[in-house]
């Protein structure tokens, strides 16, 4: 690639080695995972190299989950009732209530809390024959398939809903909020007579659920992987939302989980009950995918730009170990790098959080259950897949900066003549974001390709640059640069399909290494 002469901004071999993780334990009673350290490389643009002291990416003991979440004043993010930023880092556990027993559920929840997740997505009336196939204790959720007659028996721990109560309570105790789907979409999307909901019984069922979980840490998620094709279907969703709101007295946020390649905005952008938009960008690897029902991650930014302004997040990107494009024969199964890219694409497009999923975990795959679409292992093995542990590094990165002031900004990245190279396309799309006041900025770099950044986007006279490693949470300082003109940066290991985040900080803001909470 022909380039004009440039000031060097790539790391030496020594500084590349400094990005390898150092050993440190979780801040939990039983350490199970080591986290990386942060070291500094030589600093081009300064008179001499310097090194920062090693430090650990934070993994604090989870605090109690907030009882109430709300939308931020600017309508872009989620905050607690005390106006503290809330990072929605979700995991997909659709069959949690239906398939796991109490001991298994605690094992799963503890693992997710230790990995920095804040939200667990689970379904009450589950997808996989959840109305007729009993839970781990032989209990069904409804009496005679009637949503107005939940199968409740007097006493503790002796019906389906007691089991749901236990899991919700344990999750909340570990600092996890439940993104609670009252039902999967096949129960209201009438196809071959499978629907059991009408507007009338949906409202009754919603009110019952709302009252039961009014005081829990809950986000209500209507829908369940189905479109809204008819007025009758829309009426069911609207009625259930109304019932939930009446039952919980308006305490909890509500959203809608859509089908693949779609978002809640397609049907409910104007609805007063829809507090934030939820997307299912689909099980694809590409930012710019355009296959129907598998469209790419560019759609998050489209929802960010809609009015009225509402927060947006991708609640179902590509799962780890999932058949790519639902076509394993042509594309194989996803790996951790395929899972990391959507996290940073979505967050840098203005999302208020992100959801991870694993193909074995969503269905709680085990020998006793029929497998769905070839899971590669059992759920209790899959919970420790590499991508599952790497999501936390994105959270720590964002929380180490004033992330709820960030706005998407592709203008940070100076395009090449071949714009399909930089900012790129497909799985090699570069994404930029910055604080609204210019105090810091980030560029997600999906591969080892040089690129040019407009440093005038950073306030103050000088910017400090860092490489952040999404694979282990390590960071290395590159150097200090004047905030004039543009600057070429070359990631470590040029030419390789390894992702990085370039972090740029106004020197006068005094930020520490990225990924380390202040």
Q: What is the mean pLDDT of each run of 10 residues along the chain (518 residues)?
A: 34 41 31 29 31 36 64 97 96 98 98 97 97 97 98 93 97 97 95 89 98 97 97 97 98 97 96 97 84 78 97 97 92 96 97 98 96 96 98 98 98 96 95 98 97 97 98 97 97 94 98 86
Break the chain into its structural domains and give their ranges: 13-56+403-509, 69-399
pTM for this entry: 0.88
Q: List the one residue out of 407, 359, 387 whose CA is nearest residue 470.
A: 387
Its CATH class, for the domain covering 69-399, is alpha beta
Q: List the one residue out of 437, 289, 444, 229 whose CA is nearest residue 354.
A: 444
419 Cβ neighbours under 8 A, 6+ residues apart: 425
pLDDT score at 294? 65
First to last CA, the chain: 40
Rounded to 5 degrees, what are φ and ψ at 39?
Answer: -130, 165
Kindly report the CATH number that applies to the domain delimited by 13-56+403-509.
Answer: 2.60.40
Q: List the one residue out of 277, 273, 272, 279 whose CA is nearest residue 295.
A: 279
pLDDT score at 58? 42
Rounded to 5 degrees, what are φ and ψ at 66?
Answer: -65, 140
122 Cβ neighbours under 8 A, 6+ residues apart: 93, 94, 95, 96, 97, 167, 178, 179, 180, 181
Indicate the angle between helix axes 199-212 and 231-247, nearest 10 degrees: 30
Neighbours of 191 (CB within 10 A): 10
């Amino acid at each position: 690639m022909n380039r004009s002469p440039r000031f060097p901004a790539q790391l030496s071999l020594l500084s590349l080695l400094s990005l390898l993780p150092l050993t440190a334990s979780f801040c939990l009673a039983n350490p199970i995972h080591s986290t990386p350290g942060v070291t500094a490389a030589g600093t081009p643009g300064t008179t001499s190299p310097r090194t920062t002291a090693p430090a650990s990416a934070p993994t604090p003991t989870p605090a109690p989950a907030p009882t109430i979440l709300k939308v931020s004043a600017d309508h872009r993010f989620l905050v607690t009732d005390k106006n503290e930023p809330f990072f929605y880092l979700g995991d997909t556990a659709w069959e949690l209530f239906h398939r796991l027993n109490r001991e298994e559920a605690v094992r799963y929840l503890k693992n997710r809390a230790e990995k920095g997740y804040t939200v667990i997505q689970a379904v009450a009336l589950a997808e996989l024959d959840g109305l007729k196939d009993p839970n781990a204790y032989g209990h069904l959720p409804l009496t005679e398939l009637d949503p107005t007659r939940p199968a409740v028996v007097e006493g503790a721990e002796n019906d389906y809903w007691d089991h749901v109560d236990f899991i919700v309570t344990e999750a909340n105790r570990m600092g996890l909020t439940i993104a609670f789907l009252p039902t999967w979409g096949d129960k209201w999307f009438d196809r071959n007579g499978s629907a059991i909901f009408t507007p009338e019984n949906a409202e009754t069922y919603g009110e019952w659920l709302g009252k039961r979980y009014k005081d829990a840490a809950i986000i209500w998620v209507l829908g369940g992987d189905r479109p809204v094709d008819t007025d009758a279907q829309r009426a069911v969703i609207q009625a259930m939302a109304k019932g939930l709101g009446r039952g919980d007295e308006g305490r909890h946020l509500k959203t809608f989980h859509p089908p693949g390649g779609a978002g809640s905005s397609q049907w409910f952008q104007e609805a007063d009950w829809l507090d934030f938009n939820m997307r299912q960008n689909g099980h694809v690897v590409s930012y710019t995918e355009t296959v129907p029902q598998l469209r790419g991650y560019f759609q998050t930014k489209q929802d960010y730009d809609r009015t009225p302004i509402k927060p947006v997040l991708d609640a179902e990107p590509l799962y780890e170990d999932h058949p790519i494009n639902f076509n394993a024969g042509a594309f194989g199964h996803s790996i951790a790098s395929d899972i990391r890219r959507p996290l940073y694409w979505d967050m840098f497009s203005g999302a208020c959080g992100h959801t991870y999923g694993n193909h074995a975990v969503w269905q709680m795959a085990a020998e006793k259950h029929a497998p769905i679409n070839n899971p590669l292992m059992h759920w209790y093995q899959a919970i420790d897949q590499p991508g599952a542990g790497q999501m936390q590094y994105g959270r720590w990165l964002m929380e180490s900066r004033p992330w709820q002031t960030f706005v998407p900004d592709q203008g940070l990245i100076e395009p090449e003549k071949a714009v399909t190279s930089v900012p790129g396309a497909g799985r090699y799309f570069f994404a930029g974001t910055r604080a609204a006041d210019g105090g810091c900025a980030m560029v997600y770099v999906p591969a080892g390709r040089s690129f040019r950044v407009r440093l005038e986007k950073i306030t103050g006279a000088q910017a400090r640059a860092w490489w952040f490693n999404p694979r282990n949470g390590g960071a290395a300082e590159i150097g200090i640069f004047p905030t004039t003109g543009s600057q070429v940066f070359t990631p470590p290991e040029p030419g390789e399909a390894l992702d990085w985040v370039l972090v740029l900080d106004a020197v006068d803001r005094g930020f520490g290494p990225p990924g380390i909470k202040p």
